[in-house]
Amino acid sequence: MLREFGYEDRAIEGRIEASWQAMFYGPEDRRIYRPIGEDLGQVIDTGNGDVRTEGMSYGMMMAVQMGDKDLFDRLWRWAVKYMYRSEGPYEGYFAWSANLDGTLRAEGPAPDGEEYFALALFFASHRWGDEPAPLDYSAAARRILWNCVHKGAEAEGQPMWDEMSALIAFVPGCPWSDPSYHLPHFYELFAAWAEPEDRAFWKRAAYASRRYLPRACHPVTGLAPEYAEFDGRAHRANWDYGHHLFYSDSYRVAANIGLHQIWSDPDPELGAIASRIVAFFDSQDPGDLRMYELDGTPLEEPALHPVGLVATTAMAALAVPDCPVARRAVERFWGTSLRTGARRYYDNCLYLFALLALSGNYRVY
């Protein structure tokens, strides 16, 4: 899309390489990655001072897309060594948050980490081939997906996907979801590569998520809440007022739809959501992005990750017919730089994913 919109190949390639180098190999105040010893590494959530399965799996997906096997293997070894649960009620899952020294901040998993781990591992297997454990990429991916569907957590009594609805839960055993976790384009690939007995389930999960997102997103603005019930209604979490609103997690819905439409058969309902999101943010001041009610009413709290919001809105343009608002969304993104400072981790992950997708370099391997 960047090329189609008139950006030069040299500029595109230079932006990708410069962003990658800054995030993973740049100066201390720019990067989000830390190598450890001879064969380990971690992606740091610089805003919260921890290591999350979200960031580790994002880093692995970026590494396999960029062809950086050493980085991929370092991240995966660290995740297996410190985050993988080999016993107890969460056996077979990865603890979603750990301190920088590897001690755990959380016992249980966050399902978005598992789904990104699994697909990144499959891609690594297809690019580089499998090696002895823990670099037995495809076998590790299949084990993750088997656990997601079958094992669940004994303390919760449910797997990561709700069996009846085939919808991903916020955490195992949780009776609601997070719209930004829904990746039907991933599940289509799982349906080809997971254990044979589970492939029909992953087809069902892909269909269920495609039908879920139109229920969870506002019919006019396209905005999704951070958390939503399995019927799509916004979920009001007891511990935090904001999760029923459009906030940081929600940004990823736009990006996910954009990638879905170029990896899978385009879905008209998802394309309509993307068009609404792009149109809504075309009406907003990019220098004054906020937390929003789902109907688009701006609230007092500013966006915690404005660079990420600009990036994901541009990525949604992949699902929108060529039009002025789509071009303006991409132009705003191209005119935005990587974020610096403590909150750079989440913004810049979304930024690099958008660069890869908009340049045609976010590929299925």
Letter for the amino acid at 94?
F
* Burial of residue 284, with CB atoms counted within 10 A of its CB: 0-12 exposed, 13-18 middle, 19 or more buried: middle
The contacts of residue 282 (CB under 8 Å, 6+ apart) are 325, 328, 329
User: Which residues form the catalytic set?
Assistant: 54, 249
d(CA 170, CA 204): 18
